[in-house]
Amino acid sequence: MVGKEHITMTPPAASERWSGVVNGRPVEVLAPSNAVLLDVLRDKVGTLGVKRGCDLGTCGCCTVMIDGVPKLSCLTLAGQVKDTEILTVEGLSEGAHLTPIQTCFATHGGSQCGFCTPGFMIASQALLNVNDNPSRDEIAEAIEGNLCRCTGYQQIIDSIEAAAVLHRGEGEVTSPASDPHPDPHPSGPEDPTMPPGHAK
């Protein structure tokens, strides 16, 4: 307030119920009516694998699948996608087992600093879901909305090409570096599955 002048701020948007199926799990949260999906997924649902990059729809870091179609969550109003099925990078793996796209990004150097990787993996998986034998040009076209400042894209395309082979069942998946460990708190710390003192 300067002198006697006072400018009233625009009131914040009202909160409303938002529901959907995120990574196979039904969720229901309260979110501002004008919230973008990116904010709802990160701040309300807790899927932090969805990255905030440019907020302008030019980097692809926030890509998620909505009913099987890759979309930019920074440009999608949450209210427009209520009660849809949303897949983030956290939902790609099958429990403790990595999917071909995750395995190949790790083994072929498709992930360097890792910030853009979730968006690339979702866009790549969306491609493989509809075309499990893409050409290098088709791969490049599928990821053209995703930006990477580390790899020069060669390793990313190599990773997707290798994942396509595994996706078709034509290659062998390399064995994991270690056996997966059970989560001691699958439902939260109040409901441990291991005896007290074993998983603290």
Contact 161, 139 (CB under 8 A): yes
Average pLDDT score over residue span 139-166: 93
Answer whether residue 183 shows pLDDT above 90: no
- DSSP-derived secondary structure for 128-176: HHH-SS--HHHHHHHTTT---SSS-SHHHHHHHHHHHHHHTT-SPPPPP
Q: What is the mean pLDDT of residues 43-60?
A: 94
What tokens does 65 get?
């699948």
Q: What are phi and psi for residue 162, nearest 5 degrees?
A: -70, -40
pLDDT for the residue 199:
46
Domains and CATH numbers, the chain: 15-90 (3.10.20.30), 100-167 (1.10.150.120)
d(Cα 63, Cα 183) in Å, to the nearest integer? 27
136-150 mean pLDDT: 94
Return the pLDDT at 176: 55
Residue type, 135: S
Whether 171 has a pLDDT exceeding 90, the answer reads: no
